[in-house]
Homo-oligomer: A and B are copies of this chain.
Amino acid sequence: MNDMNTTQHTSQQYNHELEEARSKLMTMGGLVESQVTNAIKALLDRDSALGEKVAYSDHEINAMEIMLDEHCAEIIARRQPAASDLRLLITIIKVITDLERIGDEAEKVGRYAVEMAETPTYGDLHNALRHLGEHVKVMLSDTLDVLGRLDVAQAMQVVRNDQQVDEEFDSITRQLYTRMLEDPRNIKDSLNVTWCARSLERVGDHCKNICEYVIYLVKGKDVRHTNIESIRETLLGE
């Protein structure tokens, strides 16, 4: 009777630890999402104080990456999980690196928001930046959804959407280039906006990476580093 209780207790503890890992992952995701949202807002509103707050808050995300890495490693060491749980834990370990890097990009945008708060209006660039920002926020929100529900169809949608983000980024950099040609006095600001756009584009890349890991986790098929057509073929072929 005692052994059964112990086994049950251990099993409950294990389930609790797994659930805690997933819960911490979603918390980290929420922190990152908040940082990206605030960074974009700070940039578009030229809100220096908000930009500073974003830059200052990045350390929380870094701390969460370290803690989650340890938590997952401990579960693996002490519980010796079966194959599917192990793959989930390893996926979490991989994915939190991308989340932390998204946090880094948000911090950079926050710093640029502080630097550019005193500059003249963005003019026609404001719309383009806003669109890029909106797309990236949706991608990130969808990515956190994918992580929470392990939904392959939605993951594929995110991977597909990254192309749109890349195209908007190319469009912005072309507009900025034209702006620089028109007037050398525009160069400094245009460069700064280019860096911000690049950071947002990289957030999109990280979202795509995370979704590829999830597709790999759920489907067991290697879709990382392939294009969306190959992914669709691979998944339809089964």
Contacts and interface: CB of A to CB of B under 8 A. Distances in A.
Interface of A: 59, 62-63, 65-66, 69, 72-73, 76-77, 80, 83, 86-87, 90, 93-94, 97, 177, 180-181, 184, 187-188, 191, 194, 198, 222, 224-225
Contacts of A222: 66
A107 to B, nearest CB: 11
Contacts of A225: 59, 62-63, 65-66
> How many monomers of this protein are in the complex?
2
B62 A90 contact: no
B184 A188 contact: no
A86 B77 contact: yes
Contacts of A59: 225
A73 B97 contact: no
14 contacts: A59-B225, A62-B224, A63-B225, A66-B224, A69-B94, A90-B93, A93-B93, A97-B97, A177-B187, A177-B191, A180-B184, A180-B187, A181-B187, A191-B194
